[in-house]
Amino acid sequence: MECEFPQVNSNKDEIKQIFEQTKTIAIVGCSPKEEKDSNMVAKYLKNAGFKIVPIYPKEDEILGEKVYRNLSDIPFDIDMVDIFRKPSVIASVVDEAIAKGGVKCIWTQIGLVNNDAAKIAEENGIKVVQSYCTKVEHKALIDSN
């Protein structure tokens, strides 16, 4: 599979605004293993005051939060979907986010890009951030004091 460069992406001002307007973040691929990036990022975001919602195929609880199997199982609104899954899965996550409704941002972690899925998200009014780390960007733009 060829690596993609993001053709659809928010700029730093938009990213800052996304963080300021986000309260609830679904973490798709949130591992229960503390040494995994997804767990470390989720823990950081939780400690930064966001409500995190782990999406994982196993486990009942991660970081003290109820685990859901997919976005459609979550019985409340999600502002951001933070994806820690391979690029080939991103399109199905975007489709699920669109079907759920109310999602304002699709965010893919460093190295994860799917421009086709990003275009579909944007066409459906969802902001897109690709190949950035939520922890790194939040720390740089919001929590830099």
Place of tokens 């503390």: 34
Domain that holds residue 40: 12-141
Distances (CA, A) of 104 to 11, 36, 109, 121: 15, 26, 17, 9
Would residue 2 count as lying in a domain?
no
The domain tally of the chain equals 1
Q: Given pLDDT bands bounded at 50, 70 and 90, which one contains residue 1? A: very low
**What pLDDT was estimated at residue 117?**
96
Would residue 104 count as lying in a domain?
yes
Token duo for residue 141: 């733009």
Q: Average the pLDDT over 52-70 and give the result.
A: 97
Would residue 87 count as lying in a domain?
yes
Would residue 110 count as lying in a domain?
yes
Q: Given pLDDT bands bounded at 50, 70 and 90, which one contains residue 9? A: confident
Strands (E), 46-121: 51-55, 61-62, 65-66, 80-83, 105-108
Could you tell me the CATH number of the domain that includes residue 75?
Answer: 3.40.50.720
Would residue 3 count as lying in a domain?
no
Would residue 114 count as lying in a domain?
yes
Would residue 77 count as lying in a domain?
yes
Instruction: Check if the beta carbon of residue 63 is closer than 8 Å to that of residue 54.
Output: yes
pTM metric for this prediction: 0.94
64 or 142: which leads in pLDDT:
64
Q: How far is CA 61 from the centre of its chain?
A: 18
Q: Average the pLDDT over 123-135 and give the result.
A: 96
